[in-house]
Amino acid sequence: MPFIHKLEQYDRLSDTERQLLEGAIVRQRAVPKGEDMIREGDCPAESTFLIKGFAARYSLLRNGKRQITALHVPGDFVDLHSFLVKKTDHAVMAITPCTVGTIAHETLRGISENHPHLARLLAVNIVVDGAIHRQWIVAMGRRSAREHMAHLLCELFVRLRAVGLVTDDSFDLPLTQAELGDSLGLSTVHVNRVLQDLRKEGLITWRGEALAIEDWPRLQEIAEFDPTFLSLEVEPR
């Protein structure tokens, strides 16, 4: 299960803990591309994690504009926080065809009462989600379009590498330019132009659907990217 693999990027799991998590998954289901896996205003009795595919948290404005507030990749919980906040304040949609799994809130309650180390590791997920949001705010408010795009590509590269989805410095980036624009708060034309610029400078290339990072140090420098906020260190927590 990719979410168990992801927890193992933060700290070692005991065999008992791993078995407990594997037994906690109640069901798996497919979510078609473009469909909501979580709807705004829902009060789910379970938390959902991604096994396959990309998902986006988003909010819609009255004028029809959409802001994507987070991107989720395999191994991520998309609404672990719904265990605590009950009513969801935003929706989560499948960017690609997705496979998701769920864990009942009741089970999560049991884990939090009887397995404090696991509960802390699950909490790291929520803490890291918050850290990613902070980076997005900084980028949205203060970075240029080019720096912002570079930062997002660096973030996705490191997150996908952590769950084994980077091969030869390249990864599937199944977002349309409109979806990238909704993530960055930029127009599609601007996104297109920034990507063309990064490509012309030899920083990235497209290999079919996959994006290849050709000059990681330079891309990181443009983005002022420091992966510390992703907390990808195996250490006692």
Q: How far is the CB of 190 from another protein (least distance, A)?
A: 5
The least distance separating another protein from the CB of residue 211, rounded to whole angstroms, comes to 15
Q: By the criterion CB under 8 A, which residues form the site for another protein?
A: 144-146, 177, 186-190, 192-193, 196-197
Identify which of 99, 102, 98, 118 has the alpha carbon closest to the alpha carbon of residue 110: 118
> What order of strands is seen across the sheet that includes strand 98-104?
25-31, 98-104, 46-52
DSSP string for residues in 92-115: EEESS-EEEEEEEHHHHHHHHHH-
Q: Which neighbouring-strand residues pair with 47? A: 103
Q: Provide the token pair at 189.
A: 């034309």
In this structure, the chain runs to a length of: 237
Give the nearer residue to another protein in terms of CB position, either 145 or 173: 145
171 strand-pairing partners: 211
CB of 202 to another protein, least distance (A): 15
Nearer to another protein among residue 59 and residue 187 (C-beta): 187
Provide the minimum distance between the beta carbon of 142 and another protein in the complex, in angstroms, as a whole number. 11
User: 53 or 181, CB closer to another protein?
Assistant: 181
Residue closer to another protein, measured from CB, 19 or 196: 196
